[in-house]
Copies of this chain bind each other. A is one copy, B any other.
Amino acid sequence: MNSVKFGAGLGLAAAFSISAAPALADEGMWTYDNFPLAKVNQDYGLKLDQRWLDRMQGASVRLTTGCSASLVSGTGLVFTNHHCVVECVQDLSSGDKDFVKDGFLTATRDEEKKCPGMQAEILASITDVTKDIQAAGAGKTGQDFVRARETAMAAAEKAGCGDDANVRCQVVSLYRGGQFKLYKYRKYADVRLVFAPEFATAFFGGDPDNFNFPRFNLDVGFVRLYENGKPAVTPTHLSWVSRAPQEGEATFVSGNPGSTNRLMTVSQLETLRDLTIPVGQLQRSEIRGRLAQFGQESAEHKRIATDPLFGIENSFKVFYGQQSALNDKAFMDAKRAQEAELKAKVAADPKLTAEIGDPWGDIAKAQDAYANNYLRYRQIEGGATYSNLYYYAQTLVRAAEERAKPNAERLAEYADTRLPLVEKKVLDAKPVDAELEEVYLAFWLSKTREYLTTDDAAVKTLLGKESPEGLAKRAVAGSKLGDPAARKALWDGGLEAIKASDDPMIQLVLRNEPAARAVRKVWETEVQAPTDSAAGRVARAKFAAYGDAVYPDATFSLRLSYGKVAGWSYRGVTVPATTNFAGLYDRATGAEPYRLAPRWVEAQAKVTPTTVYNFVTTNDIIGGNSGSPVVNAKGEVLGAAFDGNIHSLGGAFGYDGSINRTVVVATSAATEALSKVYGRTALVKELTGK
């Protein structure tokens, strides 16, 4: 789940101020090669240096499941959020053993269990490849432009990493195509679960509190990196501290913010506002309702629906906040003014004007193509969101088709450098819940028919004479793709095996494939190519106008943000920076989601009520930063970021340091809980040395 959770009542308005470049105090998700070290040292009276930065970078972990994390011991122990490992906890559970409900506790290392599909990556180096990528696209348009740049990126990745199975190279587009950097990672494909608390503890207050602060969540999870079947040796790691964070203490968040749209043009924001987000929210709301009801049907249904429902509700809130920001007139007016200012600077520079043309106009034009093709692209090429079986089938079919081509001619996501992770995700064993799969597939088919109509050729091809429910039932019941061996046979068998397969899910995907590829072609030609080309030119204008004291939009690549421990005031209400264990016990009503796990009821007399539980900082983060270490100037980890407050809801589009807050679960709470509630002696010793 690629998301920080953001909180408070949907009724409260979010407030925004939009920074003009350069960034305001505490604003920015900075790349490690452009961190404003001097400014931060001056603002906070610190003496941070490159060594400090290097250590931070070396201890920062990216999880391919969409989260961030940090190394906290020399033997591969990784600290992250519960909600970053809950899918793994779910995968390791069954009807008999519900680790989501009861928590996953290990006493010794041989109890640690591999998380399906999870890979950990640590950034080793950054290299500028901007010229190569931009040169590849120069003079080209449409799909040629897209393919040429993708081919150049794949080549750069190959050149950077070769065939070394221990590293991963990835070209990252920064400033919406203004720069391209090659990020080289040390990778760990064997990641094992060490500790996860009960869902009721990690997500106390559930969806209703998911917008709020004060909060009381042990949103903590531990995994361990393994190499050759043994715990990895990781000399570079952060120091664990058990003391509470101090008000005003400088904090650094090192992690992988997933996606922001702060550099988008106004016409792009309008498309998000009027089309992309609303359609997503409507579909999300409906599947949310289906899962909520599904979970009411039996204890087993509740067990299997809890984790996906949590993910959907979390996304719903994130986008609800984004929509509110975009519906805010003052916000959009500020964006318009900002854009007008930049345009005016360009207009005053004839050479620059000649060089970049009118990228804003080009992007605005591409919005028509976007609007005309979005629903088809979303439904037909996007496929059955949430369904694992569909994902397996689609990936197996595409991978077989693409691997049969030369590397340079493939769809980007199947280039040689990308295949190892694709293969891992498809082949790792993972439970598949047939009943949920049916819900997901029927939902996708029914929405596709609803949005494209019964008479649409692609819909007719998908459904034939079946109903969405009937086809979903048949395809799920008949599919063998839940079995990793069946997937491996098809992966290894390639295109021939795929074509010969009578698996109904494979056949469904094959049937849909021509329409999916057709709309993808239109999308790349009419939307992606002109947008990417123009966005690069907007970035050029921005660099010309403001220099490099700007940070790029988030792209789920490593960033560092700075700030401090601080509460906030809004409309006369002052919110303190920390909560403690006493507050947890006060808030517990006994009814879900305010019901304590039994261990916590039993431990009430043992824990210290004043232990700091959750706290807030001014760091600028967003979804994907979940699990990021919150570190002080000494390199001590004070907690893991797990949420944002209500005012950061619109963080996708802007940041206001006076009220935007990162929500953190404190290491003080984790130490106390591991020791007194869960009795995890070995783990506490590994963390604290005691």
With an 8 A cutoff between CB atoms, is A208 at the interface?
yes
Complex interface: chain B residues within 8 A of A293 (CB): 289-291, 293-294, 439
Write out, one digit per residue, whether chain A residues 278-294 have a CB within 8 A of any chain B CB (1) or not (0).
Answer: 10011101111111111
Complex interface: chain B residues within 8 A of A466 (CB): 589, 591
From A11, A290, A291, residue with most partner B Cβ within 10 Å: A11
Complex interface: chain B residues within 8 A of A371 (CB): 13
- How far does the alpha carbon of A60 sit from the alpha carbon of B279 in the complex, in Å? 40
Complex interface: chain B residues within 8 A of A455 (CB): 212
- Interface pair B290/A205, CB less than 8 Å apart: no
Query: Beyond A278-B278, A290-B293, A293-B290, is A9–B450 a contact (Cβ under 8 Å)?
Result: yes
Write out, one digit per residue, whether chain A residues 78-119 have a CB within 8 A of any chain B CB (1) or not (0).
Answer: 000000000000000000000000000000000000000000
Q: Of B11, B205, B294, which contacts A451 at CB under 8 A?
A: B11
Write out, one digit per residue, whether chain A residues 290-301 have a CB within 8 A of any chain B CB (1) or not (0).
Answer: 111110110000
Query: Beyond A289-B285, A289-B286, is A452–B9 a contact (Cβ under 8 Å)?
Result: yes
Write out, one digit per residue, whether chain A residues 1-34 have a CB within 8 A of any chain B CB (1) or not (0).
Answer: 0000000111111000000000000000000000
Query: Beyond A454-B209, A455-B212, A589-B465, is A375–B449 a contact (Cβ under 8 Å)?
Result: no
- How far does the alpha carbon of A453 sit from the alpha carbon of B323 in the complex, in Å? 19
- Interface pair B282/A453, CB less than 8 Å apart: no
Write out, one digit per residue, whether chain A residues 571-600 have a CB within 8 A of any chain B CB (1) or not (0).
Answer: 000000000000000000111111000000
With an 8 A cutoff between CB atoms, is A327 at the interface?
yes
- Interface pair A456/B376, CB less than 8 Å apart: no
With an 8 A cutoff between CB atoms, is A513 at the interface?
no
Nearest residue in B to A284 (C-beta to C-beta)?
B285
With an 8 A cutoff between CB atoms, is A470 at the interface?
yes
With an 8 A cutoff between CB atoms, is A469 at the interface?
yes
Q: Taking the nearest CB of chain B, how far is it from the CB of A471, in angstroms? A: 9
Complex interface: chain B residues within 8 A of A12 (CB): 453
Q: Of B274, B278, B289, B591, which contacts A287 at CB under 8 A?
A: B289
With an 8 A cutoff between CB atoms, is A467 at the interface?
yes
Query: Beyond A10-B450, A10-B451, is A591–B470 a contact (Cβ under 8 Å)?
Result: yes
- Interface pair A208/B11, CB less than 8 Å apart: no
- Interface pair B296/A469, CB less than 8 Å apart: yes
Q: Taking the nearest CB of chain B, how far is it from the CB of A335, in angstroms? A: 16
With an 8 A cutoff between CB atoms, is A207 at the interface?
yes
Which A residues lie at the B interface, using CB under 8 A?
8-13, 205, 207-209, 211-212, 274-275, 278, 281-283, 285-294, 296-297, 320, 323, 327, 371, 375-376, 439, 449-456, 465-467, 469-470, 589-594
Q: Of B274, B285, B465, which contacts A282 at CB under 8 A?
A: B285
Complex interface: chain B residues within 8 A of A450 (CB): 9-10, 207-208
- How far does the alpha carbon of A290 sit from the alpha carbon of B287 in the complex, in Å? 8
Complex interface: chain B residues within 8 A of A211 (CB): 453
Q: Taking the nearest CB of chain B, how far is it from the CB of A43, in angstroms? A: 34
Q: Taking the nearest CB of chain B, how far is it from the CB of A583, in angstroms? A: 12
Taking A207-B450, A278-B323, A454-B594 as given, write out 14 further A-B residue pairs in contact, using a Cβ cutoff of 8 Å, ordered by the A residue number.
A9-B451, A10-B451, A11-B451, A12-B453, A208-B450, A208-B454, A285-B285, A286-B289, A293-B439, A297-B297, A465-B589, A466-B591, A469-B592, A470-B591
- How far does the alpha carbon of A645 sit from the alpha carbon of B668 in the complex, in Å? 62
- Interface pair A208/B8, CB less than 8 Å apart: no
Q: Of B207, B375, B453, which contacts A8 at CB under 8 A?
A: B453
- Interface pair B327/A274, CB less than 8 Å apart: yes
- How far does the alpha carbon of A290 sit from the alpha carbon of B292 in the complex, in Å? 7
Nearest residue in B to A323 (C-beta to C-beta)?
B278
Nearest residue in B to A316 (C-beta to C-beta)?
B282
- How far does the alpha carbon of A291 sit from the alpha carbon of B290 in the complex, in Å? 8
Please provide the 3 A-B residue pairs with the shortest distance between their CB atoms, ordered closest to farther: A289-B289, A9-B453, A285-B285
- How far does the alpha carbon of A450 sit from the alpha carbon of B210 in the complex, in Å? 9
Nearest residue in B to A12 (C-beta to C-beta)?
B453
- Contacts A/B (CB < 8 Å), 15 sampled: A9-B453, A10-B451, A11-B452, A207-B450, A208-B453, A208-B454, A209-B454, A212-B454, A212-B455, A282-B320, A286-B288, A286-B292, A293-B294, A465-B590, A466-B591
